[in-house]
Amino acid sequence: MKTINLEQQSVRDLNQALHDQAGECTEREWEVLEPKGQHNIACGLDQNLSVDIKGHAGYFCAGMNKKAHVTVHGNVGQGVAENMMSGTVRVKGDASQAAGATAHGGLLVVEGNAAARCGISMKGVDIVVKGDVGHMSCFMGQAGNLVVCGDAGDALGDSLYEVKIYVKGSVKSLGADCIEKEMRQEHLDELAELLNRAGVDEDPKAFKRYGSGRQLYNFKVDNASAY
Protein backbone atom coordinates (compact mmCIF):
# COMPACT_ATOMS: atom_id res chain seq x y z
CA MET A 1 0.00 0.00 0.00
CA LYS A 2 1.24 3.47 -0.97
CA THR A 3 0.78 6.10 1.76
CA ILE A 4 0.64 9.86 1.19
CA ASN A 5 0.44 12.31 4.10
CA LEU A 6 -1.20 15.59 3.09
CA GLU A 7 0.66 17.44 5.84
CA GLN A 8 3.85 16.63 3.94
CA GLN A 9 2.65 16.64 0.32
CA SER A 10 0.04 18.68 -1.52
CA VAL A 11 -3.30 17.54 -2.93
CA ARG A 12 -1.86 18.30 -6.36
CA ASP A 13 0.99 15.87 -5.69
CA LEU A 14 -1.47 13.21 -4.53
CA ASN A 15 -3.75 13.57 -7.53
CA GLN A 16 -0.83 13.56 -9.95
CA ALA A 17 0.52 10.36 -8.40
CA LEU A 18 -2.90 8.75 -8.70
CA HIS A 19 -3.31 9.90 -12.32
CA ASP A 20 0.12 8.53 -13.19
CA GLN A 21 -1.20 5.02 -12.48
CA ALA A 22 -3.28 5.23 -15.68
CA GLY A 23 -0.12 4.72 -17.74
CA GLU A 24 1.38 1.73 -15.99
CA CYS A 25 -0.49 0.85 -12.82
CA THR A 26 2.05 -0.32 -10.26
CA GLU A 27 0.27 0.74 -7.05
CA ARG A 28 -3.33 -0.43 -6.64
CA GLU A 29 -3.88 0.45 -2.98
CA TRP A 30 -3.45 3.97 -1.60
CA GLU A 31 -3.84 5.48 1.86
CA VAL A 32 -4.26 9.24 2.35
CA LEU A 33 -3.40 10.59 5.80
CA GLU A 34 -4.21 13.97 7.39
CA PRO A 35 -6.65 15.21 4.71
CA LYS A 36 -8.03 17.80 7.18
CA GLY A 37 -10.93 18.88 4.98
CA GLN A 38 -8.87 19.85 1.94
CA HIS A 39 -10.72 20.17 -1.37
CA ASN A 40 -10.49 18.14 -4.61
CA ILE A 41 -8.91 15.04 -3.08
CA ALA A 42 -8.75 12.04 -5.45
CA CYS A 43 -10.46 13.80 -8.36
CA GLY A 44 -10.49 12.60 -11.96
CA LEU A 45 -9.29 9.06 -11.30
CA ASP A 46 -9.36 6.79 -14.34
CA GLN A 47 -7.96 3.50 -13.08
CA ASN A 48 -9.02 0.57 -10.90
CA LEU A 49 -7.48 1.88 -7.69
CA SER A 50 -8.44 1.60 -4.03
CA VAL A 51 -8.05 4.90 -2.16
CA ASP A 52 -8.62 5.15 1.61
CA ILE A 53 -8.88 8.73 2.91
CA LYS A 54 -8.31 8.67 6.67
CA GLY A 55 -10.24 11.72 7.82
CA HIS A 56 -12.56 14.48 6.61
CA ALA A 57 -12.47 15.74 3.02
CA GLY A 58 -13.64 19.06 1.56
CA TYR A 59 -15.41 19.99 -1.66
CA PHE A 60 -15.62 17.71 -4.72
CA CYS A 61 -13.84 14.72 -3.20
CA ALA A 62 -13.65 11.87 -5.75
CA GLY A 63 -15.22 14.08 -8.40
CA MET A 64 -15.31 12.68 -11.95
CA ASN A 65 -14.38 9.26 -10.61
CA LYS A 66 -13.99 6.44 -13.11
CA LYS A 67 -13.22 2.84 -12.12
CA ALA A 68 -11.65 3.68 -8.74
CA HIS A 69 -12.97 2.73 -5.30
CA VAL A 70 -12.67 5.62 -2.86
CA THR A 71 -13.52 5.45 0.84
CA VAL A 72 -13.63 8.52 3.09
CA HIS A 73 -13.31 7.71 6.79
CA GLY A 74 -15.04 10.91 7.86
CA ASN A 75 -17.33 13.62 6.50
CA VAL A 76 -17.19 15.27 3.08
CA GLY A 77 -18.02 18.73 1.79
CA GLN A 78 -20.10 19.78 -1.18
CA GLY A 79 -20.18 17.77 -4.39
CA VAL A 80 -18.69 14.43 -3.38
CA ALA A 81 -18.53 12.09 -6.40
CA GLU A 82 -19.77 14.90 -8.65
CA ASN A 83 -20.01 13.70 -12.26
CA MET A 84 -18.81 10.19 -11.33
CA MET A 85 -18.81 7.76 -14.26
CA SER A 86 -18.14 4.39 -12.60
CA GLY A 87 -16.51 2.78 -9.59
CA THR A 88 -17.53 3.23 -5.96
CA VAL A 89 -17.35 6.12 -3.52
CA ARG A 90 -18.17 5.41 0.13
CA VAL A 91 -18.47 8.10 2.82
CA LYS A 92 -18.30 6.76 6.36
CA GLY A 93 -19.70 10.01 7.79
CA ASP A 94 -22.03 12.74 6.53
CA ALA A 95 -22.07 14.48 3.15
CA SER A 96 -22.78 18.14 2.46
CA GLN A 97 -24.85 19.47 -0.43
CA ALA A 98 -25.08 18.05 -3.95
CA ALA A 99 -23.66 14.60 -3.25
CA GLY A 100 -23.47 12.68 -6.51
CA ALA A 101 -24.53 15.67 -8.61
CA THR A 102 -24.75 14.95 -12.37
CA ALA A 103 -23.14 11.53 -11.86
CA HIS A 104 -23.53 9.14 -14.79
CA GLY A 105 -22.71 5.77 -13.19
CA GLY A 106 -21.12 3.87 -10.35
CA LEU A 107 -22.26 3.62 -6.73
CA LEU A 108 -22.17 6.33 -4.07
CA VAL A 109 -22.81 5.24 -0.47
CA VAL A 110 -23.23 7.76 2.35
CA GLU A 111 -23.31 5.99 5.70
CA GLY A 112 -24.44 9.12 7.55
CA ASN A 113 -26.77 11.87 6.33
CA ALA A 114 -26.67 13.81 3.08
CA ALA A 115 -27.62 17.48 2.93
CA ALA A 116 -29.69 19.37 0.34
CA ARG A 117 -29.79 18.47 -3.35
CA CYS A 118 -28.40 14.97 -2.99
CA GLY A 119 -28.42 13.44 -6.47
CA ILE A 120 -29.28 16.68 -8.27
CA SER A 121 -29.46 16.06 -12.03
CA MET A 122 -28.17 12.49 -11.58
CA LYS A 123 -27.78 10.69 -14.89
CA GLY A 124 -27.39 7.00 -14.09
CA VAL A 125 -25.60 6.75 -10.75
CA ASP A 126 -26.92 4.65 -7.86
CA ILE A 127 -26.91 6.53 -4.53
CA VAL A 128 -27.60 4.84 -1.19
CA VAL A 129 -27.90 7.02 1.94
CA LYS A 130 -28.16 5.22 5.27
CA GLY A 131 -29.42 8.36 7.03
CA ASP A 132 -31.55 11.31 5.89
CA VAL A 133 -31.39 13.54 2.82
CA GLY A 134 -32.11 17.27 2.71
CA HIS A 135 -34.46 19.38 0.62
CA MET A 136 -34.58 19.28 -3.19
CA SER A 137 -32.86 15.90 -3.35
CA CYS A 138 -32.95 14.32 -6.81
CA PHE A 139 -34.01 17.63 -8.39
CA MET A 140 -34.19 17.04 -12.15
CA GLY A 141 -32.91 13.50 -11.69
CA GLN A 142 -32.73 11.83 -15.08
CA ALA A 143 -31.63 8.20 -14.57
CA GLY A 144 -30.44 5.90 -11.82
CA ASN A 145 -31.64 5.12 -8.30
CA LEU A 146 -31.70 7.06 -5.03
CA VAL A 147 -32.18 4.97 -1.88
CA VAL A 148 -32.83 6.76 1.42
CA CYS A 149 -32.94 4.63 4.56
CA GLY A 150 -33.95 7.61 6.72
CA ASP A 151 -36.19 10.60 6.00
CA ALA A 152 -36.31 13.02 3.05
CA GLY A 153 -36.73 16.79 3.21
CA ASP A 154 -38.92 19.16 1.21
CA ALA A 155 -39.49 18.93 -2.55
CA LEU A 156 -38.12 15.42 -3.05
CA GLY A 157 -37.74 14.59 -6.73
CA ASP A 158 -38.79 18.01 -8.00
CA SER A 159 -39.02 18.06 -11.82
CA LEU A 160 -37.44 14.61 -12.10
CA TYR A 161 -37.38 12.46 -15.20
CA GLU A 162 -36.89 8.68 -14.80
CA VAL A 163 -34.93 8.22 -11.56
CA LYS A 164 -36.44 5.72 -9.14
CA ILE A 165 -36.48 6.93 -5.52
CA TYR A 166 -36.85 4.54 -2.58
CA VAL A 167 -37.43 5.99 0.90
CA LYS A 168 -37.87 4.05 4.11
CA GLY A 169 -38.73 6.97 6.39
CA SER A 170 -41.00 9.98 6.00
CA VAL A 171 -40.99 12.49 3.16
CA LYS A 172 -41.59 16.09 4.20
CA SER A 173 -43.01 16.97 0.78
CA LEU A 174 -42.82 15.86 -2.83
CA GLY A 175 -41.58 18.20 -5.53
CA ALA A 176 -43.37 19.09 -8.77
CA ASP A 177 -44.47 16.01 -10.72
CA CYS A 178 -43.03 13.55 -8.18
CA ILE A 179 -45.58 10.97 -7.06
CA GLU A 180 -45.66 7.81 -4.96
CA LYS A 181 -45.71 4.69 -7.12
CA GLU A 182 -46.56 1.03 -6.70
CA MET A 183 -43.81 -1.16 -5.26
CA ARG A 184 -43.87 -4.26 -7.48
CA GLN A 185 -41.71 -7.36 -7.16
CA GLU A 186 -39.28 -6.10 -9.77
CA HIS A 187 -38.67 -3.03 -7.61
CA LEU A 188 -38.23 -5.09 -4.46
CA ASP A 189 -35.65 -7.19 -6.28
CA GLU A 190 -33.84 -4.13 -7.62
CA LEU A 191 -33.81 -2.47 -4.20
CA ALA A 192 -32.55 -5.65 -2.51
CA GLU A 193 -29.65 -5.76 -4.97
CA LEU A 194 -28.81 -2.09 -4.36
CA LEU A 195 -28.87 -2.51 -0.59
CA ASN A 196 -26.67 -5.59 -0.88
CA ARG A 197 -24.12 -3.75 -3.05
CA ALA A 198 -24.06 -0.92 -0.54
CA GLY A 199 -23.65 -3.28 2.41
CA VAL A 200 -26.83 -1.99 4.06
CA ASP A 201 -29.00 -4.37 6.09
CA GLU A 202 -32.55 -3.15 5.45
CA ASP A 203 -35.79 -4.86 4.43
CA PRO A 204 -36.85 -3.71 0.93
CA LYS A 205 -40.50 -4.15 1.91
CA ALA A 206 -40.15 -1.30 4.41
CA PHE A 207 -39.53 1.24 1.60
CA LYS A 208 -41.89 3.28 -0.58
CA ARG A 209 -41.15 4.10 -4.21
CA TYR A 210 -41.43 7.53 -5.80
CA GLY A 211 -41.02 8.59 -9.39
CA SER A 212 -42.08 10.92 -12.17
CA GLY A 213 -45.75 11.58 -12.90
CA ARG A 214 -44.56 12.32 -16.47
CA GLN A 215 -46.64 15.49 -16.68
CA LEU A 216 -43.86 18.08 -17.00
CA TYR A 217 -41.44 16.95 -19.68
CA ASN A 218 -43.99 16.38 -22.46
CA PHE A 219 -45.26 19.42 -24.35
CA LYS A 220 -49.04 19.79 -24.26
CA VAL A 221 -50.54 21.94 -27.00
CA ASP A 222 -53.37 22.97 -24.68
CA ASN A 223 -50.78 24.89 -22.65
CA ALA A 224 -49.20 26.65 -25.62
CA SER A 225 -50.62 30.04 -24.62
CA ALA A 226 -48.69 29.89 -21.36
CA TYR A 227 -45.31 29.93 -23.13
Per-residue confidence (pLDDT) for residue 66, from 0 to 100:
96
81 pLDDT more than 90: yes
| Contact yes or no for 122/166 (Cβ under 8 A) | no
Residues whose CB is less than 8 angstroms from the CB of residue 160 and which lie 6 or more positions away in sequence, other chains included: 138, 139, 140, 141, 142, 175, 177, 178, 211, 212
- Decide if pLDDT at 148 tops 70: yes
Average pLDDT over residues 197-215: 96
Looking at residue 222, its pLDDT comes to 78
CA distance 26 to 14: 15
pLDDT number for residue 25: 66
Q: Output the DSSP codes for 167-214.
A: ESS-BS-B-TTEEEE---HHHHHHHHHHHHHHT----GGG-EEEEE-S
In whole angstroms, give the CA distance from residue 78 to residue 61. Answer: 8
pLDDT in tens, 11-42: 999 999 999 987 766 789 999 999 999 999 99
Q: What is the pLDDT of residue 227?
A: 65
- Determine the pLDDT at residue 220: 75
pLDDT band with cut points at 50, 70 and 90 for residue 49: very high
Amino acid at 122: M
Long-range CB contacts (within 8 A, 24+) of 37-42? 37/77, 38/6, 38/11, 39/11, 39/77, 40/11, 40/15, 41/6, 41/11, 41/14, 41/15, 42/14, 42/15, 42/18, 42/68, 42/70
What residue ranges do the domains of the chain occupy?
2-226
> What would the pLDDT profile of 101-146 be if each residue is shown by its tens digit?
999 999 999 999 999 999 999 999 999 999 999 999 999 999 999 9
CATH code for residues 2-226 = 2.160.20.60
**pTM, full prediction:** 0.95
* pLDDT surpassing 70 at residue 58: yes
Quote the Cα angle for 3-104-149, to 5°: 80
Q: What pLDDT score was predicted for residue 169?
A: 98
pLDDT at 221: 75
